[in-house]
Amino acid sequence: MKHLISKDKTTGEDIRISYKDYGSGKPIVLIHGWPLSKHMWEYQLEPIVEAGLRVVKYDRRGFGQSDKPWSGYDYDTLADDLAAVLEQLDLTDVTLVGFSMGGGEAVRYLGRYGNSRVSQLVLISAVTPYLVKTDDNPDGVDSSIFNDMLEKLNEDRINFLDDFGKKFFGVNLISHPVSAPLLEYYRDIAADASPKATKACVATFAHTDFRSDCAAVTIPTLLIHGDADKIVPKESSTDRVAKMIPQAQYLVYEGAPHGLFYTHKDALSRDLIAFAKTGKAYHYVHSEDGKADINNDIIIP
């Protein structure tokens, strides 16, 4: 098991960050979503490495096999942990990929540390630019949603995670895009996280304002979101980010739930590989009419 050390700038603690490093060539750094771990990238790992790229994936503090301190779940600290990964592995020309909560880490890192190590950004189903509804953020999600999540986590965390997984992958009476054993597997990954971190991160991803971070992004960016996402609705998130980063390529996966890293795993792997290698996502390179413009979103069936 590999770990590196991130020095917590507030507490002075040495926080061990668990990571995996595979392949060679241009690096892609994968940041997982809440409440999972680096294991969520299982179905992207092999295709990316076999395409001749290097993959580094790591566990956020409090999750997976990283240390689980009592504090440090704000985005500035989480971005510092990401900086420790990039610096200690001496990664450059990085394609930085943030899924859901991980999208916040990616843009906050760029805001705090610049893009000397990062050449491309990918935000997938991300919580950016500002998730909760406020007076100056009327397009956000009502705060009662997050309060309800915290109440259920406090009452019965495992039951909440079990129900959450079904919404995460779009499971309902009609649609069953994942098997029951796979749902249990992802639930168990989430259950292994620190209960304190699990709850603290709800407030973190709900109430952190990334609007200035997004507006300052200047590197080539790929945005991906499912139009059936019931966890992070694209209307409150990536639709808005696309206007803040006008040069970004925006792919909307038709029928995709939040957990599209599994339900649309082949499309996602192709898009990540193509973007890292060519600067354009697979579906832009191979659009049927050949007229796709990088400033317009494309619906991916």
The string of pLDDT tens digits covering residues 110-140 is 999 999 999 999 999 999 999 999 999 999 9
pLDDT in the model for residue 175? 78
Q: Show Cβ contacts of residue 120 under 8 Å, excluding neighbours closer than 6 positions.
A: 94, 95, 96, 219, 220, 221, 222, 275, 276, 279
Task: Report all structural domains of the chain as residue ranges with CATH numbers, in order of start.
Answer: 2-300 (3.40.50.1820)
The active-site residue out of 37, 100, 237, 269 is: 100
User: Which amino acid type is present at position 9?
Assistant: K
Arithmetic mean of pLDDT, 27-52:
98
Answer yes or no: is pLDDT of 288 > 50: no
pLDDT in the model for residue 285? 54
Could you give the 3-state DSSP secondary structure of residue 185? helix
**209 catalytic, yes or no?**
no
Give all strands of the β-sheet with 221-226 in edge-to-edge order. Answer: 2-7, 14-22, 54-58, 27-31, 94-99, 118-124, 221-226, 249-253, 298-300
Answer yes or no: is pLDDT of 289 > 80: no
Answer yes or no: is pLDDT of 299 > 60: no
Arithmetic mean of pLDDT, 228-252:
96
The active-site residue out of 59, 80, 213, 229 is: 229
The active-site residue out of 32, 66, 125, 258 is: 258
**229 catalytic, yes or no?**
yes
Of 87-96, 105-114, 290-299, the poorest mean pLDDT is in 290-299
Arithmetic mean of pLDDT, 14-19:
98
pLDDT in the model for residue 265? 96
**258 catalytic, yes or no?**
yes
pLDDT in the model for residue 292? 39
pTM of the predicted model as reported, rounded to 2 decimal places: 0.94
pLDDT in the model for residue 172? 84
Model pLDDT for residues 159-169, shown as the tens digit of each residue: 999 999 999 99
pLDDT in the model for residue 208? 98
Q: Are strands 14-22 and 2-7 parallel, antiparallel or unpaired?
A: antiparallel
Of 80-94, 178-192, 283-297, the poorest mean pLDDT is in 283-297
pLDDT in the model for residue 296? 44
Distances in Å between the alpha carbon of 138 and those of 131, 213, 265?
A: 10, 19, 33
